[in-house]
Amino acid sequence: MANITRSPWLLHYDGSSCNGCDIEVLACLTPVYDAERFGIVNTGDPMQADIFLITGGVNEQNIPVVKQLYEQMPEPKVVVAVGVCACTGGVFKDCYNIIGGADQAIPVDIYVPGCAARPQAIIDGIVKAIGLFQERLENSEKESDKVG
């Protein structure tokens, strides 16, 4: 992680979750867990975000919102699904309105299990996401070098 040149920014969106995972995501950013020590910054603006934390199994009405947020993020980007709902649909899998996991709407890179996902697990997911982000950044730089 030493050669990361900028802090990855983080966007969080509630894709039809029960809220349990969302408050744990927020708890990660507060002093006790303090995910910001890994250099990430929480933002509300998708156009400046690099890592997308999504919770919940995503319902029909939320699909366009989730897709739009994802598309607005600049390349490269990493998506982390937080909580078993976002991974598979969880307890709500059989609900008529739930599409069953965030990966049904957008490509997901990292899955954080748990109901609710524990802050430690979420931080682990974030750290993995930073690694992946770094990798993608390097790859895209190589690509552009080739082209240039």
What type of residue sits at position 65?
A: V
Query: How far apart are alpha carbons 140 and 53 in whole angstroms?
Result: 22
Closest to ligand SF4 by CB, 123 vs 137, is: 123
Phi, psi (rounded to 5 degrees) for 9: -100, 150
Q: Is 95 in the site for another protein (CB under 8 A)?
A: yes
Query: How far apart are alpha carbons 138 and 80 in whole angstroms?
Result: 20
Please, which residues bridge with residue 51 across strands? 10, 78
Closest to another protein by CB, 31 vs 148, is: 31
User: How many residues form the binding site for another protein (CB under 8 A)?
Assistant: 38
Closest to another protein by CB, 4 vs 121, is: 121
With CB cut-offs between 5 and 8 Å by kind, which of ligand SF4, another protein, none does residue 148 bind?
none
Rounded to the nearest whole angstrom, what is the least distance from the CB of residue 103 to another protein in the complex? 17
What angle is formed at CA 82 by the lines to CA 51 and CA 128, rounded to 5 degrees?
50
The footprint of ligand SF4 (CB under 6 A) covers 17-18, 20-21, 55-56, 83-85, 90-91, 115-116
